[in-house]
Amino acid sequence: AQSVTQLGSHVSVSEGALVLLRCNYSSSVPPYLFWYVQYPNQGLQLLLKYTSAATLVKGINGFEAEFKKSETSFHLTKPSAHMSDAAEYFCAVSDRGGGADGLTFGKGTHLIIQP
Amino acid sequence: NAGVTQTPKFRILKIGQSMTLQCTQDMNHNYMYWYRQDPGMGLKLIYYSVGAGITDKGEVPNGYNVSRSTTEDFPLRLELAAPSQTSVYFCASSYSNRGRRTGELFFGEGSRLTVL
pLDDT of the residue at B99:
67
What's A30's DSSP letter? P
User: pLDDT digit string (tens) for A34-82?
Assistant: 999 999 888 899 999 988 778 899 999 999 999 998 899 999 999 999 9
d(CA A64, CA A59): 6
Average pLDDT per 10 consecutive residues for chain B, totaling 116 residues: 91 96 95 92 92 93 96 96 96 82 85 96
On the question of pLDDT at A98 being above 60, the answer is no
* Confidence class for position A101, pLDDT limits 50, 70, 90: low
Residue in A34, A102, A106 nearest the CB of B45: A102
The pLDDT-based confidence of A22 (bands split at 50, 70, 90) is very high
Q: Is the pLDDT of residue A100 over 70?
A: no
Q: What is the pLDDT of residue A96?
A: 58
DSSP collapsed to 3 states, A75-102: EEEECCCCHHHCEEEEEEEECCCCCCCC
pLDDT in tens, B93-102: 998 776 666 7
Interface test with A, best of B4, B35, B37, B43 (most A CBs within 10 A): B43
Q: What is the pLDDT of residue A59?
A: 94
A20 pLDDT more than 70: yes
> What pLDDT does residue B104 have?
83
Q: How many contacts does A have with B, using Cβ atoms within 8 A?
A: 64
End-to-end Cα separation, chain A, in angstroms: 41
Chain B residues in contact with A51 by the CB 8 A cut-off are 102-103
Q: Measure in Å the smallest separation between the Cα of A98 and chain B Cα atoms.
A: 6
Helix (H) or strand (E) holding B13, with range, is: strand B10-13
The DSSP secondary-structure symbol of B83 reads: G
Q: Does A29 score more than 90 pLDDT?
A: no
CB A104 within 8 A of CB A94: yes
pLDDT at position B81 is 95
Q: Yes or no: say if B49 and B55 are a contact pair by the CB < 8 Å rule.
A: yes
Name the percent of chain A lying above pLDDT 70: 91
Longest dimension (CA), chain B: 46
- Which residue of chain A comes nearest to B5, CA vs CA? A43
Beta carbons within 10 angstroms of residue A94's beta carbon: 25
How far does the CA of residue A94 sit from the closest CA of chain B (Å)? 6
CB atoms within 10 A of CB A25: 19
CA distance A39 to chain B (A): 10
Q: SS3 of A28, please?
A: coil
Nearest-by-CA chain B residue for A4: B42
**pLDDT of A99 strictly over 60:** no
In Å, how far is A34's CA from the nearest CA of chain B? 8
Side chain identity at residue B85, one-letter code = Q
Label residue A83 by pLDDT band (50, 70, 90). very high
Burial (CB count within 10 angstroms: exposed 0-12, middle 13-18, buried 19+), residue B95: middle
Chain mean pLDDT for chain A: 90
Is the Cβ pair B104, A99 closer than 8 Å? no
3-state secondary structure of B58: coil
pLDDT the model gives residue A67: 92
